[in-house]
Amino acid sequence: MSSASASHLGAFLKARRAQLDPRECGLPGTDSTRRVAGLRREEVAQLAAISVDYYTRLEQGRVRASASVLATLVRALRLDGDQESYLYELAGRSDALPHRRRPAQRVRPAMRRLLDQLTQTPALVLGRRLDVLDWNPAAAALYLDFSALSPARRNYVNLLFTNPVIREMHQDWKHDAREAVAALRTEAAADPDDPELARLVGELSVQDLDFRTWWAEHRVSNASYGTKRYRHRLVGDLTLDCDTWASPDGSGQRLMVLTAEAGSPSHDALRILTSWNAEQPGPERAEDLRR
């Protein structure tokens, strides 16, 4: 650790302890006038279970903190995620930064309302790793009943490669699947330490030679629109425009919408598919559509 980094680390520790209220940290109150704002050095040392001398030398830049000491300081100084990362960076120990568990993905309410309003247009909400987070009845009619799948299997790329119904309905499967792999590569670049993405890539690489080959190409794609050509098992051929819109909140969620030109055979087929799906309960939908 350079002298400049040590100086910045000491300044950060001083500034942070000055922001904390001793009583909120579980320390006994005192009626005496405090000469410093926030916590004293000895109080930080007490909360972190380290010696006052060690903590003093740490603030003065005369000793390099171990990963275990940094972990106790994170708790003692009540650092949030960004502050924790900054502390480890200043200490020259970014390699020891604990991997925080990623929060579960939840569909934004605004996305859910959009799905509810798209009654005759298939739409999906895609999250990180292209996970299928939510869908409307029209999307279930077009693809499959996503609710029948386990959450771990509700992934757009996984379905393209492993689900026979989804795979067979793509007339341009190789093109569409290769583009999906490129989109997944873009996801990997944004979050290379995602364990769930590593698991998905590992499973598909073992199961499918095409995936393994295309993943090794390192192609990336941020395409937000295109054309999908499907051969649906109930209503026949469909040519649909596929557009995706990213959520503005930085969550990585995207709304994927499939539409057909008004008056086209595909538009009429979509209307038939979604209307029968809405009117018929359960398995009767498929049987009536076949008739």
Mean pLDDT over residues 56-68, rounded? 90
| Residue 67 lies inside a defined structural domain of this protein | yes
Shared domain for 143 and 86, answered yes or no, is: no
| Residue 220 lies inside a defined structural domain of this protein | yes
Shared domain for 167 and 268, answered yes or no, is: yes
Shared domain for 261 and 141, answered yes or no, is: yes
Shared domain for 201 and 140, answered yes or no, is: yes
> For the chain, what is the domain count?
2
Cα separation, 69 vs 212, in Å, equals 42
Contact 221, 82 (CB under 8 A): no
Instruction: Provide the pLDDT confidence category of residue 37 given band limits of 50, 70 and 90.
Output: confident
| Residue 260 lies inside a defined structural domain of this protein | yes
Shared domain for 143 and 80, answered yes or no, is: no
CATH of the domain at 18: 1.10.260.40
| Residue 289 lies inside a defined structural domain of this protein | no
| Residue 99 lies inside a defined structural domain of this protein | no
Mean pLDDT over residues 64-93, rounded? 89
Pairing of strands 236-246, 123-126: unpaired
Shared domain for 121 and 241, answered yes or no, is: yes
Cα separation, 286 vs 290, in Å, equals 6
Look up tokens 């502390």; give the residue. 87
Angle at 195 between CA 189 and CA 197, to 5 degrees: 55
Interval 197-249: pLDDT, tens:
888 999 999 899 999 999 999 999 988 899 999 999 889 999 999 999 998 88
Q: Is the pTM of this model over 0.75?
A: no
Mean pLDDT over residues 261-271, rounded? 94
In the predicted structure, residue 169 carries a pLDDT above the cut 50:
yes
- Of 91, 117, 144, the domain-final residue: 91
Residue 88, sorted as left (phi over 0), alpha (psi -120 to 50) or beta, turns out to be alpha
Domain boundaries, position 225: 109-279
Shared domain for 141 and 249, answered yes or no, is: yes
Tell me which residue of 67, 68, 58 sits closest to 96, measured CA to CA. Answer: 67
Shared domain for 45 and 131, answered yes or no, is: no
Shared domain for 71 and 145, answered yes or no, is: no
- Of 62, 91, 120, the domain-final residue: 91
Cα separation, 73 vs 87, in Å, equals 9
| Residue 286 lies inside a defined structural domain of this protein | no
Interval 179-193: pLDDT, tens:
999 999 998 888 777
Cα separation, 231 vs 170, in Å, equals 6
Q: Strand, coil or helix: what is 155?
A: strand
Shared domain for 144 and 243, answered yes or no, is: yes
Cα separation, 9 vs 114, in Å, equals 47
Shared domain for 114 and 21, answered yes or no, is: no
What does the pLDDT read at residue 105? 85
CATH of the domain at 178: 3.30.450.180
| Residue 287 lies inside a defined structural domain of this protein | no
The first and second tokens of residue 227, run together, are 């054309």
| Residue 96 lies inside a defined structural domain of this protein | no
Cα separation, 22 vs 31, in Å, equals 12
Mean pLDDT over residues 99-124, rounded? 85
Shared domain for 163 and 252, answered yes or no, is: yes
